[in-house]
Amino acid sequence: MDFKLSKEQELIQKAAREFATNVILPLGKKIEQDDKVPREIWDGLAELGFLGLPFEEDFGGGEAGYENYVLAQEQISRVSSGVGTAFSVHIMGSDVLALFGTREQQKHYLPKTCKGELKPSFAFTEPGTGSDPRQLATTATRDGEYVVINGVKRFITNAGYEGPMVVFCKDADTGGFSAYIVDKFCQGYSLSKSWEKIGSHGSPIFDVYFKDVRVPASNLLGEPGRGFDILLLGIAFGKIGTSAIALGGILAAYEEAVKYAREKLHRGKPIAKFQAIQLKIGHLAAKYYSTRWMCYRLGTLANDILGKGVQNPEQFQAEAALVKSYASDTAVEAAKLSMDVHASYGLTKDYPIERIYRDAIIAPQIEGVSDMQRIIWANSVLN
Amino acid sequence: MDFNYTKEQLMLKDSVRKFSENEIAPMIKWMETEKRTPRDLIKKIKDLGWCGIQYPEKYGGSGNTYVEYAIMQMEMSRVYCSTACTISVNGMLGANIMKFATEEQKLKFLPEHLNGEGIGSFAFTEPSTGSDPGALRTTCVRDGDEWVINGEKNFITNASMPGLMGIFCKDAEMGPGKCTNILIPKGIKGYSTPRIYDKMGMHGLEVCDVVLDNVRVPYENTTGGEAMRGKGFQVLLGSTQIGKLSVCAQAVGMAQAALEAAVKYSKERVQRGKPIANFPTIQSLIGDMATDVMVGHQIVLATAFKASEGKELAADAARTRLFTSEACHRVASKAMQVMGAYSYTTEFPIERIFRDAKLTEIYEGVNEIQRLISSTDLLR
């Protein structure tokens, strides 16, 4: 057992914090307004090696272990949940290629995703289903050496960037459930306007339309009919990022509360001197402390999966469900506590807590609502 | 970063679990009724080396760290928190001696304290003060080669059992508000425990009032010797953090027990033809409980690790305590919801766990104090 950051981990944390503070933060307003991650941020993330952090060096990755990704993601999401989410989906899309792709598929995509030239997406949700694969309506129909994909995918992140999209489909011939790699913006691929949403600005989500999209049959990801395994493990890996984004939100809520409490005066002294405020900040600190090790731990568990192959991922999936629901629910509580420290000023866009509060509510709802996570985790405990 | 138990830690966990189930569990009914702890049970635990787990071998310890200590505390509390707490108070006094005593004192007191017949006590609280050293009324007065101690202490754990006590006294000679910590053997002339408290729970824990009437001990029993005279407050802070770590581990151990009880019950209890474990409402409760247990477990280990490194612990211990004690309370309460009316009967251990759990939010400083401590450094 060792609850310490290594030298390398400290360096990554520090680099991410500096990048977040010096590069992302000054662009914060622009990100919120344009609902886009500016080019220089993507370039910076690539330059720091963050876009390929956990992946093989052969592909230009850092082979650094997912706990390092969590450390970086936490610091980035501290200043922008939007950038954090785009980054998270980038890694998650790369994860499924690294986990299930053939060597050829990996060689084709990962070197470019690690450099940020391509940005992957992960497309399961549809207008008719958020988590039940039996209700999928997107179909893949075999036509010689090709499959033809038709359907609509909903709430897809990074869909507006060039790159591979992992698309879950029902196989028209067999009724099976498989995943295919589609190059975004190929013939027949089109996008809706982005959804207007409560927060996580900078990371727009789209509906994606597939009209007779033809991809080589060799673009099948993993085994035919085994799409469910990819979905479950892919979502579990996605929860590493979602948890780390929530952790960044908690850290931000906590730091902003401390900062505000020391600045704001009441009856001639900073509100930090009042016990009512101290109680809230003490509680906030405890929330951060209780969440961070769970998130780092989830990262280390993912290393075992990526390193040792995809056998018996159930424990990891269950723990990912636990950490994601815990971190994201805690982020909402932390944002509320911090907002209560800020009071009226927190409602204005002059203070970051206004954004943090809006962003916090997102994580409990995505990648399976918190209620569902609790049941996944409970089933692992009950069995 | 490494979140895995070592082989040795797993073995320790396993042997504490077996001992607790085989040796402590059969005694619980007796302890709950008699409101005492059998002296030979303490001796058995000492013989296994678990009172000295976190101390160097040269003082009679087994040379492990606070991580192993926390593992032992969690496993023991899973079966019976009172016994774990009895042991942890011994540990608090041990921590004081280890941190502040002179080398000579360590060699003199620790081997017996960790392995001998008795069990230690830590005596700060008085009728008029729970955490303010300036308000102490128990006095120590130097008389040649001896200390003369007079006063009253209350809520003192293990005071009715033989062993060593670290006592905090107002030391007027050193100036106003100064206090000194002195080691006294319990039961000596002038020492009495007129009252053992009856309590809501933790019945195996003997908590007493202590009266000190012209108690005389050698002057050299000043913890840390002359250099530490008048610096009792430092001593107090040094070990309450370890005390707090113990409470956290106890809270997680009890929460684990409550979770296991609810899981077992939910798989056995059949409604509408199927076990209630199949109902999403029950699953949701179990999921929440298991989350609290898991998070609590991790942060206890993280804080124990920090303690082992000798790092400043006040804020982390307060944060861990805040989370784990609230989690323990939540989990015990939810377990009762899962188990319904049966949970309220003494047929099931959960009613005891629920009563015992409440103490974790109170002792070693109520949670409101923990929140203030948690924010102190940040807002300075």
Could you report the per-residue pLDDT of A101-149, keeping only the tens digit for each? 999 999 999 999 999 999 999 999 999 988 788 889 999 999 999 999 9
* Pairwise CB contact (< 8 Å): A378 & B6: no
The residue to which tokens 């003490």 are assigned: A282
- With a cut of 80, say whether residue A18 has pLDDT above it: yes
Position A372 confidence tier, pLDDT thresholds 50, 70, 90? confident
The residue type found at A115 is K
Residues whose CB falls within 8 Å of the CB of residue B126, separated by 6 or more in sequence, listed in order: B135, B136, B137, B138, B151, B152, B153, B154
pLDDT score recorded for residue A351: 97
The residue to which tokens 């401390």 are assigned: A258
pLDDT score recorded for residue A62: 96
Average pLDDT of chain A, as a whole number: 95
pLDDT score recorded for residue A310: 64
Which positions in chain A touch B375 (Cβ < 8 Å)?
278-279, 281-282, 285
* Pairwise CB contact (< 8 Å): A278 & B379: yes
Strand partners, B270: B275
Average pLDDT of chain B, as a whole number: 95
Q: Largest alpha-carbon pair distance within chain A?
A: 79
Mean pLDDT, rounded, for A44-48: 98
Between A355 and B129, the higher pLDDT residue:
A355
Please check whether residue A67 touches B, CB under 8 A.
yes
Q: How far is CA A144 from CA A141, A148, A189, A214, in A?
A: 10, 10, 21, 11
**Selected residue of A319, A382, A383 to mutate for chain B interface (largest B Cβ count, 10 A):** A382
- With a cut of 80, say whether residue B241 has pLDDT above it: no
Beta carbons within 10 angstroms of residue A7's beta carbon? 7
- With a cut of 90, say whether residue A165 has pLDDT above it: yes
Residues 4-33 of B with CB under 8 A from A: 4-6, 9
- With a cut of 70, say whether residue B96 has pLDDT above it: yes
- With a cut of 90, say whether residue A283 has pLDDT above it: yes
Beta carbons within 10 angstroms of residue B346's beta carbon? 10
Residues 243-272 of B with CB under 8 A from A: 259, 263, 266-267
Between B243 and A296, the higher pLDDT residue:
A296
Is B364 one of the catalytic residues?
A: yes
Q: What is the pTM of this model?
A: 0.93
Mean pLDDT, rounded, for B129-149: 91
Residue A254: closest C-alpha in chain B:
B378
Q: Angle at CA B286, nearest 5°, toward B282 and B289?
A: 140
